Structure 1
Amino acid sequence: MRQLISRIPAAISQLIYKRILLAVTILFCVGVGIAMANMSRLSSTLIESQALQNATLYAQAIKEARTLYSSDVVNPLNTAKSINFTHDNKPTKVTVPVPATFLIELGNHIANKNPEVSVRLYSNYPFPWRQKEGGARDDFERQAITYLTQNPNQRFSRIEDFRGKPAFRYAEADILTSSCVNCHNTHIYSPKTDWKVGDVRGILEITQPLETITKKTHSGLKNLFLLLAGISTLGIAGLTLSISRLRQNAKQLENRVRERTAQLQETNVELLKEQEKCDRLLLNILPESIAAKLKDGQSSIADGFAEVTILFADIVGFTVLSAQISPEELLVFLNEIFSAFDGLTEKYGLEKIKTIGDAYMVVGGLPNPSTNHAENIAEMALDMQEELAKFNAKHQAGINIRIGINTGPAIAGVIGTKKFIYDLWGDAVNTAARMESHGIAGAIQVTQSTYNILQNKYLFENRGVIHIKGKGDMNTYLLAGRLVSAVLV
C-alpha cells in the first residue's frame, strides 16, 4: 500500500510530463504551419528587396558612367574645334556623342549582353530624333514621369509582367546638373529652353526579370525551412520541459524582482531629484539656516541682531520709462537690472530681502553675523551705480538710482504660514528706508551710524542736517567713492 501511494506522485509527474511534451509538439507543429504560411510573403519581400538593390546598383553605375564620361571626356574636348559633339553616334566625321546619347548607347549595350534586362531613358520632352522611342510608352512610364517630376529624390518601382514574364521595373529621376543646363537650353533642337539646375530632364528605367532571383530566393528559403524543421524536431526529442518550465518560472520571478527593485531605485532617484528641486526653491526664498529650521518643524522664527547694515535702492526714472515701452520690455529691463544686483549680493555675501516694484532691499550681517557688513554694503552700493551706468549705455536709457543705507539693530525672521518670506523689522530698517526716500537721484545717502564705521575707508560728502519724516532732523552723508580698498568677505 505504501509503495502504491509512493508511486502516485511519480505517476502524476510522468503524466504531466507527457502532456507537456504533447502540448509542446502540437505547438511546434502549429509554428511550422504558420512558418509555411508566411513563407510566400517572406519570399515576395526578399525578391522585391533583391530586385530593388540590383536595379539601384544598375542605375547608379549607369549614371556614374555618364557623369565620368561628361566630366573626363566631353568637358576636356569641348574646346577642341576638330571635335563635333552630336546625338548621332555614327557621323561622317570625327565626333563624340553627347552624354545623353552615351547613356542610351550604354543601356543598349547592357540590354544586348543581358537580353532580359531593359534600360530606357525617356521624357516628356524628347529631342525630335527620339520622338518615337523617347517618350512614355505605357502606364508605368507615364506614372513614373508624373511621380518623379513631383518627387525627384524618390524612387518609383513595381512588379508586373514585362514581355510576358514577371519583372521588376525600377525608375528614378534624371536630374539636370549645372554642366547640362546650358547645353539643353542652347541646343537648336531642344524642345524646352528654360531648364534650371535640379529640374527632372527625364526618367532612367531599369527592368529586370524576377525568375532567377525567385529561384535563388525559394531555394534559400526552402533550405532554411528544412533546417528549422530539423532543429525543431531535435528540440522536441530532447526537451525536458517540466524542468525547463520550472527554471523559466524561477528566472521570470527573479527578473521581476530585479525589475521591481530597479523601479524602486528609479522612484527613489526621482524623489531625491524632486526633493533637491524643493530645497533649491526654498533656498531661493530663504537663507540656508532659516530653511533648515523650517524643515526641522519650527513654525515661527525670529532672531535679534545687535548691528546690521540695511540698504534700500529705488530706480529713478523707471516710471517715465514704463510709459514709453511695453510691459513685456519693462519686465525684461527690470529683470536685467535686478539680476545684476543679485550677482552683487552673492559676490559680497549679503542677504537679499525682497523687491517691491522697482525697489530693492538687501542687508549685511545676518542671518550669519559678520564684522564687515557695512563695508560690504558700501561696496555693493558703489557697484550698483556702475551696473546701472552699464545698463544705460547698453540700452541708451536715462534712468538713475537712489540708495539709502543705515546701520543698527534689527529683528529678522519668518512669520505666517502661507507665502512666507524672510523679512526685517526695527527702527534701523525704517531709518534706512527714509535714507532712500529722502535721498538724491544718483547718490548714496548714509546715516551717522554708518558714516562712523566707514569714514576712514571711503570718501564722503557731508550733506548736513535734513528733516526726515517721522524721525526729525538728522545729519546725513553722501558716499562718494572708495578711499582705500574695503576689506571684503
Structure 2
Amino acid sequence: MRQLISRSRAAISQLIYKRILLALTILFCVGVGVAMANMSRLSSTLIESQALQNATLYAQAIKEARTLYSSDVVNPLNTAKAINFTHDYNPTKVTIPVPAAFLIEVGQNITNKNPEVSLRLYSDYPFPWRRGEGGARDDFERQAITYLTQNPTQKFFRREDYRGKPAFRYAEADILSSSCVNCHNTHPDSPKTDWKLGDVRGILEITQPLGTITQNTQSELKNLFLLLVGLSTLGVTGLTLSISRLRQNAKQLEQRVWERTAQLQETNVELVKEQEKSDRLLLNILPESIAAKLKDGQSSIADGFAEVTILFADIVGFTVLSSQISPEELLDFLNEIFSAFDCLTEKYGLEKIKTIGDAYMVVGGLPNPSTNHAESIAEMALDMQEELAKFNAKHHAGMNIRIGINTGPAIAGVIGTKKFIYDLWGDAVNTASRMESHGIAGAIQVTQSTYDILRNKYLFEYRGMIHIKGKGDMNTYLLAGRLVSAVSV
C-alpha cells in the first residue's frame, strides 16, 4: 500500500513538474512574442521620432540660413543699391536671388546631389515663372497647404514612399515677415497683393529617406531583443534548475517524512500494544467501569450499595499440603484452583475482589447493581465445591473448602495511588468473613438475610444459633443444594 501511494505521488509530482516546465515554455514564447510586437511598435516610433527630429533641425537650419542671408547680405546690398536682386534668379545674370529664391536654389542643389532628399518651397500663389513647380504636386503637399494655412504653428508630417523608397515627409508653414510683406504686395508679378504680416506665404517641406535611420534603429533594437532573449533564457534555465532542485529536495523530504511516519506508526503500534497490556492488567485488578473512571481522571472513587452478596472461601487442608510439596507445586495447585474459581466468577457475572493466601473473596451486585446477586453467589458456591472435588480427584488430594455468605449493604471503592485495590467495607463484609471463619469444612454457611432471599430456590439445613465475635448470637444456615424447579440464574 505504501509503495502504491509512493508511486502515485511520484507520478503526480512528475506530472506537475512537466506542466510547470510547459507553462514556463509557453510564458517564455508569449513573452518573446510580446517583446517582438513591442519591438516592432517601438521601432516604428523611434524611426518616426528620429526622422521628425532631423527634419525639424534641418528646417530650423535652413530658415536660420535664409534669415542670415536676408539680414546680412540682401539688406545691406539693397540699401547700397550695389547689385540687383530678383525673384526670377538666373545664375547667368549678374544678380543675386532674394531670400525665397535663395532657399529654392539651395533645395534644388541638395536634391540634385542627393536624389532621395527633397527640400521644397511651394504655395497656392506661386509667381508666374514658378507655376510649374512652385505649386502643390501631390496629395501630401495639398493636404499640407490646407492644414498649415489653418494651423500655421503646427507641423504636418507622415511616412510614405517617395520615389519608390520609404521616406519621411515633413512640412511647416513659411510665414511672412515684415520685410517680405511690402515686397510681395508691390511686385508687379505678384499673384496676390494684399498680404499681411503673419500670413502663410507657402510651405517648407523636407523629405528624407528612412533607410539609414531604419537600419540603424532596427540594428540597435535587434541587439536589445537578443539581449532580452538571452536574459530570458538564462532566467528560465535558472528557474528550471531551481525547480528541479526543489523537486529533489521535496523527494528527499518526502522520503524522510515517510521514514519518520513509519517510525511513528511503529511507535504507535507499540504504544497501542502497551496500552492494551496496561488495560488488560488494569481490568485484571479493577472492574471495567471503575477502570474507565480512573482513566477519565477521577481520583476518588467510592460507591455505596444498598444490597450485595459477599462470599468468602478458604481452602481447608492447604496448610498441611504446603508442608508436603515444593513451593512451585504448591503455587501451581493454588493457581489451578483459583483459575477455576475465576472462570466461575466470569460465568455468573460476579466481581472478584481479592485473594489472601488460600482465601478467595467474591461479591455479587456491584459495581453494576443487579437483582439476582444472591442466586449468582449461591450458584458459584455450589460450583466451587464441585471444582475442588474435581481437583482432588485429579491430584489425589484431600483438600476441602469452607464457604461463608452474607447479604447486606456495603461500600466499594478504590484505595491506593500506585497499586490500586478495589475493596469492600461495611458490617455485611465483616459478617460474611465470620460466616466463613465460623463455618464447617465442606459446607456453605449463610446468614439469615441470605437465607431469606434464597430459601424458596435452594435446599438449606438449619445449623442453629452460633456465637459470632463482635456480633453476638446469630441464626445460620447451610446451603445444601438446588431446588431444580426454582433455580434460574
TM-score by length of 1: 0.51
Gaps of 5+ in 1: 17-239
Shift of residue 13, structure 1, vs aligned partner: 9.2
1:245 positional shift: 6.6
* Cα displacement (A) at 1:413: 0.6
**Corresponding residue number in structure 2 for 1:62:** none
Q: Secondary structure of the equivalent of 1:298?
A: coil
Q: Offset of 1:273 from its aligned partner?
A: 2.2
Alpha-carbon distance between aligned partners in 1 of 2:487 and 2:460, rounded to the nearest angstrom: 18
Q: 1:267 to 1:5 in 2, by over 3 A?
A: farther
Paired residue for 1:416? 416
In structure 2, what is the Cα distance between the partners aligned to 1:2 and 1:261? 52
Quick check: 1:449 aligned with 2:461?
no
How far the C-alpha of 1:243 sits from its partner, in A, is 8.5
Q: Output aligned runs, 1:338-377, within 5 Å.
A: 338-377=338-377
8 Å CA contact 1:409–1:428 kept in 2: the answer is: yes
Runs of at least 5 residues in structure 2 that lack an aligned partner in the other structure: 1-223
Output the amino acid matched with 1:276.
E
SS of match in other structure, 1:275: helix
1:243/1:370 CA distance change after superposition, 3 Å: closer
- Cα distance change on mapping 1:485 and 1:348 into 2, 3 Å: farther
1:469 corresponds to: 469
Partner of 2:271: 271
Distance 1:393 1:10, change over 3 A: same
Post-superposition Cα deviations, 1:336-371, rounded to whole Å, max 9, x if no partner, equal 000000000000000000000000000000000100
Which residue matches 1:291? 291
Partner of 1:192: none
Normalised by the size of structure 2, how large is the TM-score? 0.51
8 A contact 1:302–1:411 mirrored in 2:
yes
1:302 CA drift (Å): 0.9
Q: Secondary structure at the match of 1:419?
A: coil
Correspondence for 1:427 = 427
Give distance in 2, aligned partners of 1:9 and 1:320: 101
Where does 1:210-289 land on structure 2 (aligned, <5 Å)?
Answer: 248-289=248-289
CA–CA separation in structure 2 for the residues paired with 1:323 and 1:6 = 103
| Residues 456 and 486, structure 2, Cα contact 8 Å, conserved in 1 | no
Q: Number of paired residues? A: 266
Deviation at 1:272?
2.2
The residue identity in structure 1 corresponding to 2:276 is E
- Displacement, 1:435? 0.3
Q: Which residue of 2 aligns with 1:318?
A: 318
- Read off the aligned partner of 1:279 and give its amino acid letter: D
Q: CA deviation at 1:278?
A: 1.4
Pair 1:350–1:449, CA change in 2 (3 A): same
- What is the Cα deviation at residue 409 of structure 1? 0.5
Using the alignment, how far apart are the partners of 1:257 and 1:479 within structure 2? 68
Separation in 1, partners of 2:354, 2:467: 27
1:294-305 alignment to 2 at 5 Å?
Answer: 294-305=294-305
| Structure 2 residue identity aligned to 1:259 | E
Question: Does the residue aligned with 1:363 lie in a helix, a strand or coil?
Answer: strand
- Distance change (3 Å), C-alpha of 1:2 and 1:286: farther
2:411 & 2:327 partners in 1: Cα distance? 36
Q: Are residues 252 and 336 of structure 1, via their aligned partners in 2, closer, same or farther at CA, if it must alter by over 3 Å?
A: same
SS of the aligned residue for 1:328 comes to: helix
Written as runs of structure 1 = structure 2, the 5 A alignment for 1:167-178 is none
- Misfit runs of 4+, over 4 Å: 1-14, 240-249, 485-489
Q: Which amino acid aligns with 1:434?
A: R
Q: Provide the C-alpha distance between the structure 2 equivalents of 1:345 and 1:361, rounded to a whole number of angstroms.
A: 10
| Distance (whole Å) between structure 2 residues aligned to residue 274 and residue 4 of structure 1 | 68
Query: How many angstroms apart in 1 are the aligned matches of 2:307 and 2:438?
Result: 23
Letter paired with 1:264: L
* Deviation (angstroms), 1:447: 0.4
